[in-house]
Structure 1
Amino acid sequence: MAKTLPTLALLLSTAAYAQQPLTTAPPSGPAPRPYLTKREPTLTEAQKLALLRQHIKYVFVLFQENRSFDFYFGSYPGAEGLYSKPAAEIPGFTQPLVDTDGTVRTITPFRIPPFITDANGKAVPIYPSDLASVNHSHTAMDAKLNFDSADLSKNDRFALTEEGVTLNSEGKPSKFPSLERKQYGELVMGHLDCDTAPFLWRYADRFTLFDHFFATELGPSTPNAIAMISGQVGETQWMLHPEEVTRPGYPGVPMLADPQPFYGIKKESSGKAKQANDPKTKTNSVNFTFAALPLSFMGQDAKATTATDDDPAADLRDVKEDIEKIAGHPNRATPWGWYQQGYDHEPIDPAGQVTHKSYVSHHNAPAYFGYVANNAGVETHIHGLNDFFEDVAARRLPPNGVFYVRGGYGNIRGLHPLDPNPRLATVFNGNDDHPGYSDSQLSEALLAEEINAITQSPYWAQSAILIAYDESDGLYDHAQPHVRGHGPNKEPLDQGPRIPFLLISPYGNAHAVSHEPAEHSSIIKFVDNLFNLIPLADLPDEQKARAIGVEKFHEKNMGPADDQVEGIGNLFSAFSNARLLGKRPLLPASYAQIPVPEINAFPHYDYKGCSVMNIKPTDANLPNPIPADFNPRPDTTPGNPKSGNWAP
């Protein structure tokens, strides 16, 4: 990290910045593409950082759930997708699938359409925005990626793992799957495009899409939510406290599953944290005591802030030296907020009551850290979703800061999923994009509402908006993660599969695809750089744990990856040098906005988003090998949509 900032004169005169790989997404037709990124002036990384610190004061992380990159952007022009190379060069493009009679067939990626033609020749809507959730446990993800002895993934067991079937050395299946399990095996290979996810494609087209952004861990939501703010899933705590290692029936560290936070939801009467369940039952996570951004954000106030912790002996045991170093760094506290639907009162709650009905507690990453959840002064940084809209509208945000925004079960606007089946009205009405309970169009509508709120405020002019995901839900992606660490079972722990990531800013590159290697730690690295924080990886208690990892396990990358780990980008490639230097007009707020009537008109663009935006997916002229018995929701709407009597 640069200790001194170059002068503006030096910024204007030096030309040495090695820009991260960046391509311009090719236009799909004659429609004009304003603000197209052209040849960029060069800057050193230090110069670019100085300009970013000058111009970007707000980082908004719009944190979504459970989609792979290929699921949403596998056919996006200019990105490394499913059709960028010949099928034989795409890992896992053709996979085995076992039929209900035991016949071993193959399956390849296919686009999930809005309608199919049934046995009677009738166009049947199958509502591809409402999909079942597939297996995304740590064990399942390891099986789906199918690593060899050198930690290189083949990515060719997504369908079989979903079916719960293995093949022996002769290629014979271990069992015959039911129709439902076979349909899950098919679902995992499906993907959407700009017809069903037009808002996401619109943001990708107008700003910067990252096509090499990976989840931190092979596994479910909680670990990757934790990684969003810590760059790890508890490896350093495991090194320092081996007795707390994850094992059957004990959700310890490193985090591999979705247990509840050690401290539960705050008591509404006192405002203090409480234990939701007896930790002795092991239904809750262990108390997380390793460093995360909420600790770094304390800055010079770290000693005074942590001094008010309700149980410092337990909550601060592994960050005592970290606190000393953070407090001694010449940095004021960095404002931050975690806005999550259902955490406190929401518009859908009765007046004066907090029901938490839409709250997904295992998505609330800060709540897993005792020095946040068990300190009333720190816990106040956690809010409900509607608080975000109110704070932005009332201009209550501080002069700078980092703000995370999450949806959850249901939605605070009382919207309903596209599928009119009354049984599903309260099943797919979530808005955080998690398959199984969220509707993807309701979810992208929430993103649009959040982005509109920011762009209609003074914060837009100094903002970087990050659309991030936690993990892939177990949906197929062909990109091979770079394994840099292993868990207690000696199997790969991180990285996980590739996931979507977009960056929106008035200083951003337009119509760009960045090939910069990135993951959740890249977000932390970006925040570290922007707000001059000591990288988590460089804090003394984390360094101590990393040394144990090297000595005992021969693992050099245990812990946070915001420094000292190769191949972790800093997201700088999303920003235009010319715009930062004032040599090109900034992207206006209107360019990021989606009109409210378009947000509230479902389905968005009547499933014609590609033609509306004049974008041609890379599979547009290819056959679409959708399976004959495909069902997007094998559990909630069972049967075969092509049968002629399927009720969606």
Structure 2
Amino acid sequence: MAVKLHHITIVLLISYVLIITGCTSNGQINSDSTIAESTLNKINTIVVIYAENRSFDNLYGLFPGANGIHNALEHPETYLQLDRDGKTVLPSLPPIWNKNNPNWSFIADLPNKPFQIDAAPGDAPSSNGIKNVSPDLVHKFYHNQMQINVGSNNQFAAFSNAGGLTMGYYDGSSMALWQLAKEYTLADNFFMGAFGGSFLNHFWLVCACTPSMANVSTDQVSILDDKTGMLAFKPSSALQMAPHYLGDFNFTPADNTNQRNYAVNMAQPPFQPSGTPPAKTGNRLLADSGIKNGVVVLDPQTEKTLGDTLSARQINWAWYAGAWDAAVTDGMQSPDKARSVIYKTGAGAANFQAHHQPFNYFSRFDPTTANGREQRIAHLKDYTDLQTDIAKGTLPAVTFYKPQGSLNQHPGYTDVMSGDAHIAELVKQLQASPQWPNMFIIVTYDENGGFWDHVSPPKGDRWGPGSRIPAIIISPFAKKHSIDNTLYDTTSIIKFITRRFGLEPLPGVRDNAGDLTNTLEVDIRN
């Protein structure tokens, strides 16, 4: 018996190594270098569609053939959640702490395992189904690491303000994007570039870097435990109360090497549109950096971005955002006037999310300078511009699209299906574009939104990667009806664009992440 167990252990270890190194079960290496350059070079337009806050298991855990919920349920060690002491297995899932909503009270009675939100016992179509808005879940830099717990993924419920909701998943088969994933390539080993939330992951999409500034007020600096390097918290049980941190703020302590604090959770852009209004007597193009008792306005950033490397090679590119033009106008109003677009929720509201616009943090786009204004006109555009360019066949070689808040699938303020329909319709328009025959579309998510996923993130660096997220590759050159198990993270998008256009590599892009070329069909005619 000991010999058999020893043999099984060796097999499991070998399997783990094969997955991490990119080997398939038949011994082949998933090497991006094997793709024919002739196939890659036929791609003239790359479109990145960036949705919000869903883990892979949350939306695609039931996708046939993918590494999903079925695999997790076969191995309880991949899903059993521990209490905050890191030792005690929770006897049941904790309640949702951040919303007192009776429609979600059932979670406190669920066993300690993943559960389907839109099926019994959670199925209440009028309130809990995939077409409805769920409560939001905390999704921050240190929290994500504490939930992952060095790859065990066993403290998501303990360190969530939404308790057991983090373990919920949907049957996503009704989604239009699910059907596109069946038709083209679904990547089931793709991870968010950085730990935490939307703000930081948008930076990692465009520069593989973490923003920083000097002289941050101490009341904005996180208080960390000396032993763990994570947030210090008061001991308590996840079944009794929400986690209580001693200092859960937006910046890291100052780095010893450069005395700068890194912004790992939300800070506002220095330029409008920003969540921070202009100063009453200041320039209406700027956010009021001296405002008190609000989210910090980040200093203009100067790191090199993908936009810089594209421009250096005279490759046209643009960041299109839903409600951008309206948000610019909204942001330039007097601070005495209420915003009607930026972070405005409610029926019919665009709910523009200023911290989802990464290029608006960089000094290159300073609207108070002539060059900054030119750069904004050239590269920062509205969704209506995107539709015009699609129809005319004039999309830039590299196109980013960020849906407005009401259509981005973010828990707490929108639902899954409205964003799914919006993105699927956009893909349909792209497929009807004159540029479609040479197009490569990536539909992915910024981060997991606080939802659990059973796959351990790969080894990375101080900043990530974080949890696994969905990614769909749609292209005439993409493998059809395929699931790609290659290891990717958000920086793989940068790597793919860099390789296709021969750009200067950005230093933060990770060596062990694939460059997406494994999703392409090799053209054997070349």
**TM-score with structure 2 length normalisation?**
0.72
1:297 corresponds to 2:271 = no
For structure 2, list consecutive stretches of 5 or more residues without a partner in the other structure.
Answer: 1-20, 83-89, 96-104, 223-248, 252-259, 331-338, 345-349
User: Whole-Å Cα distance in 2 between the matches of residues 81 and 44 of structure 1?
Assistant: 24
Aligned 1:397-416 pairs, distance under 5 A: 397-398=395-396, 401-409=397-405
List aligned pairs for 1:394-473, cutoff 5 A: 394-398=392-396, 401-409=397-405, 430-473=406-449
Q: Residue 506 and residue 80 in structure 1: after superposition, are their counterparts in 2 closer, same or farther (change >3 A)? A: same
Quote the Cα distance in structure 1 between the aligned partners of 2:113 and 2:303: 42
Quick check: 2:79–2:114 contact (8 Å CA) kept in 1? no
Change (3 A) 1:20 1:206: farther
1:468 Cα offset (Å): 1.3
- The 3-state SS of whatever aligns with 1:127 is coil
Q: Using the alignment, how far apart are the partners of 1:135 and 1:354 within structure 2?
A: 25
* Structure-to-structure mapping, 1:42-441, within 5 angstroms: 45=33, 48-53=36-41, 55-84=42-71, 87-88=74-75, 91-93=78-80, 96=90, 97=92, 106-113=111-118, 126-129=128-131, 130-146=133-149, 152-162=150-160, 184-196=162-174, 198-234=175-211, 247-248=221-222, 251=251, 253-265=261-273, 274-279=285-290, 281=292, 283-299=296-312, 331=313, 333-345=314-326, 355=341, 358=350, 359-374=352-367, 375-380=372-377, 381-398=379-396, 401-409=397-405, 430-441=406-417
Match of 1:530 in 2: 500
Structure 1 pair 457–52 and aligned structure 2 pair: CA distance change class (3 A): same
Identify the residue that residue 10 of structure 1 maps to in structure 2. none
Instruction: Quote how far apart the aligned CAs of 1:221 are.
Output: 0.4
Aligned-residue RMSD, C-alpha: 3.5
8 Å CA contact 1:210–1:500 kept in 2: the answer is: yes
Percent identity at matched positions?
24
Distance, in Å, in 2 between the alignment partners of 1:77 and 1:286 is 46
Decide which of 509, 515, 518 is 1:573's aligned counterpart: 518
CA distance in 1, matches of 2:518, 2:403: 28
3-state DSSP class of the match of 1:83?
Answer: helix
Partner of residue 475, structure 2: 505
The CA deviation string for residues 423-471 of structure 1, in whole angstroms up to 9 with x for no partner, is xxxxxxx111111111211101111111011111111100000001100
Q: Which amino acid aligns with 2:374?
A: G
For 1:483 and 1:242, the matched residues in 2 are separated by 31
Q: Please give the per-residue CA displacement for 1:381-425, whole angstroms capped at 9, x wherever unaligned.
A: 111122211221233335xx111111123xxxxxxxxxxxxxxxx
Q: 1:461 to 1:64 in 2, by over 3 A?
A: same
TM-score of the superposed pair, with normalisation by structure 1? 0.59
1:187 alignment partner AA: L
Task: Count matched residues.
Answer: 419
Give 1:342 deviation, angstroms: 1.4
Mapped to 2, the partners of 1:440 and 1:98 lie a distance apart of 23
Whose Rg is larger? 1
User: C-alpha offsets along residues 3-29 of structure 1, whole Å, 9 cap, x if unaligned?
Assistant: xxxxxxxxxxxxxxxx96679xxxxxx
Q: What is the CA–CA distance in structure 2 between the aligned matches of 1:531 and 1:435, rounded to whole Å?
A: 36
Contact 2:193–2:201 (Cα < 8 Å) also in 1: yes
Contact kept in structure 1, 2:54 and 2:449, CA below 8 Å = yes
Distance 1:98 1:355 in 2: 37
Aligned equivalents of 2:34, 2:184: Cα separation in 1:
23
Task: Indicate if the aligned counterparts of 1:20 and 1:514 stay in contact, CA closer than 8 A.
Answer: no
User: 1:516, CA displacement in angstroms?
Assistant: 1.0
